[in-house]
Amino acid sequence: MSTQEYLTVAAALQLVLDGVAILAAETIPLHEAPGRVLAEPIYARDSLPPFANSSMDGYVLQAADTAGATANRPAALRVLADIAAGSDVTVTVLPGTAARIMTGAPIPPGANAVVPVEDTNEPWRDEQRPLPPIIHIHRQVSAGAYVRHIGEDIVAGQQILNTGHLLRPQEIGALAALGVSRVPVIRRPRVAILSTGDELIDVNEPLRPGKIRNSNSYTQTAQVAMLGAVPIPLGVARDDEADVRAKLQTGLDVGVDLFVSSAGVSVGAYDVVKAVLEKAGNVGFWRVRMRPGKPLAYGRYQGVPYLGLPGNPVSAMVSFERFARPAILKMGGHTNLERPCVSVTVQEEIQSDGRESYIRAVVTRMGDGYTAVTTGEQGSHMMTSLIKANALIILPEGSTHIPAGATLSAMMIDWPETVF
Ligand code: AMP
Ligand code: MG
């Protein structure tokens, strides 16, 4: 990989994605599976519903017995039994008979329809209501009325979910209904997070002259966690090659899947991450035509994919969004790697320098569409520009001046949230 190439965002993203592979599978308990991605197709071992059952509280009967029935000319049927949900039916419904039945209870042999209780002379309101010996049916129903048939949702043997399917609450419920208590999923990516810089002190330390608190490690740990991946913080390395190597070795020792570092990859005199990676080979330094976030290191360190983000907090967060997020999602087996984008009408004039620019903005609904205002000062050290934002407006490469009222695409960094 050559150094200091100028790449478009799209080309850089493609190289990053090509460099990471979907991780191996593991089998986990169903209750731990929300947010994970299936590693194998799932076939239904049972049908759903597993047996024909009633969709209403009412009377189960033979539809032919209700021919011509109205409230004035009811069909009178002899009541044989009370069939509650969960009961194992023993009665057979013959012509002229019916059974009281609850929602979800099995349709007994001989019956082919249900009449809702509201359409009888016994609209019960409490569970204690005794079973009437005779029921008057006020309405004609056809065969199959209010019957949920066996397998009408899922047929035993059918493939219900494919490899790559994201397990949301509805999939978790369907798997439970089908008796799948352990699920084959792609394992969570283990992402090492390294911050570098002699100026960095930790969150608990009082400020001293020339020092700033390390925020990137915390931002990135949160970003990784919110993707359902496992953050492995490696702490802060000084601007010293041996220290950077030692911290990276800790990551190698615990078997991380990706290194994400911040700072030390531009052209400063103390950019030691760059020196360490250059010596390790297989790492390229790119200038991505992106704003914020021009410097980016990408490649492998001792065989492990490595993404070196810029140090400025805004650049680091936006670069993580643009490159690390899709890479981590891909490793975790996801197929939808992009944040949702919406078309927005910008409310103010926006300037940039021709690089593809990610402008921090507040996007709100207006009429049928969306409107966007920037969060003000866009400096790559301005953390408040991100705190106020729910979106990044994307200025395409080559555009330097966007007039108020123009339509642009905005990447919605707040939706969907994936917290597990
Ligand atoms: P560098 O890439 O090392 O030139 O750093 C660029 C800017 O980002 C400098 O102002 C650094 O102090 C700042 N910076 C680097 N790392 C961090 C960090 N972990 N947290 C907050 N700011 C950082
Ligand atoms: Mg530095």
Q: What's the confidence (pLDDT) of residue 284?
A: 80
Nearest to 226 by CA among 260, 250, 259, 191: 191
Measured from the Cα of 268, ligand 1's closest atom is: 4
pLDDT higher than 70, residue 125: no
- 3-state SS, residue 383: helix
Greatest distance between any 2 Cα atoms in the chain: 97
Of the given ranges (133-142, 267-276, 353-362, 404-413), which has the lowest mean pLDDT? Answer: 267-276
Considering every ligand atom, which ligand is closest to the CA of 217?
A: 1
Q: Which of 13-22, 30-39, 98-107, 261-270 has the lowest mean pLDDT?
A: 261-270
Please, which pLDDT band fits residue 286 given cuts at 50, 70 and 90?
A: confident
pLDDT tens readout for residues 182-215: 999 999 999 999 999 999 999 999 999 999 999 9
CA of 229 to the centre of ligand 1 (A): 24
CATH of domain 25-49+152-186: 3.90.105.10
* pLDDT value of residue 190: 98
**Integer CA distances (angstroms), 14 to 9, 19, 165, 224, 377, in order:** 9, 9, 22, 20, 30
pTM (whole model) above 0.75: yes
Helix or strand holding residue 331 (H, E): helix 325-331
Q: Judge contact between 79 and 137, C-beta under 8 A.
A: no
Cβ atoms of residues 192 and 259 within 8 Å? yes
Closest protein CA for atom 5 of ligand 1: 311
In what order do the strands lie in the sheet containing 5-7? 5-7, 283-288, 295-301, 304-309, 258-262, 190-196, 230-237
Per-residue model confidence (pLDDT) at position 348: 96
For ion ligand 2, residues whose CB falls within 5 Å: 197, 263
Asked if residue 396 lies in contact with residue 341, where contact means CB atoms within 8 angstroms, the answer is no
The residue to mutate among 205, 216, 239, 271, having the most atoms of ligand 1 within 8 angstroms of its beta carbon, is 216
Record: fold of 9-24+187-331: Molybdenum Cofactor Biosythetic Enzyme; Chain A (3.40.980)
E strand or H helix at 351: strand 350-351
Q: Which one-letter amino acid corresponds to residue 115? A: V
Ligand 1 atom closest to the Cα of residue 262 is: 16
Atom of ligand 1 nearest to the CA of 315: 8
Q: Of 181-185, 233-237, 277-281, 306-310, which gets the smallest average pLDDT?
A: 277-281
Contact 264, 257 (CB under 8 A): no
pLDDT bracket for residue 293 (50, 70, 90): confident
CATH topology identical between 9-24+187-331 and 53-148: no
CA of 271 to the centre of ligand 2 (A): 6
Q: Could you tell me if residue 112 is left (phi over 0), alpha (psi between -120 and 50 degrees) or otherwise beta?
A: alpha
Strand, coil or helix: 406:
coil
Atom of ligand 1 nearest to the CA of 310: 2
Angle between helices 241-253 and 272-280 (to 10 degrees): 60
Kindly list the protein residues whose Cβ atom lies closer than 6 A to any atom of ligand 1.
195, 197, 199-200, 212, 214-217, 262-264, 266, 268, 310-313
Q: Whose CA is nearest to atom 10 of ligand 1?
A: 312
What does the domain layout of the chain look like in residue ranges? 9-24+187-331, 25-49+152-186, 53-148, 341-419
> What is the position in ligand 1's atom list of the atom closest to the CA of 214?
20
pLDDT, average across residues 100-123: 96
Q: Give the CATH fold of the 341-419 domain.
A: Beta-clip (2.40.340)
Query: Of 257, 228, 225, 229, which Cα lies nearest the Cα of 168?
Result: 228
Q: What helix, strand, coil percent values describe the chain, rounded to 5? A: 20, 35, 45
Name the residue with tokens 């047996």. Answer: 51
Q: Is the pLDDT of residue 1 over 60?
A: no
**Contact criterion met (CB below 8 Å) for 203 and 235:** no
Q: What is the pLDDT of residue 418?
A: 47
Quote the mean pLDDT of the chain.
94
Is 53-148 assigned to CATH 2.170.190.11? Answer: yes
Alpha-carbon distance of 313 to 391, in angstroms, equals: 16
More confident residue, 1 or 128: 128
**pLDDT value of position 4:** 57
pLDDT in tens, 41-84: 999 999 999 999 999 999 999 999 999 999 999 999 999 999 99
Burial 276-314 (b: 16+ CB within 10 A, else e): bbeeeebbbbbbbbbbbbbbbbbbbbeebbbbbbbbbbb
CA quadruple 172, 178, 184, 186: dihedral positive or negative? negative
Task: Report the pLDDT value the prediction gives residue 126, as an integer from 0 to 100.
Answer: 67
Strand, coil or helix: 124: coil
Q: How far is CA 44 from CA 38, 166, 176, in A?
A: 15, 17, 11
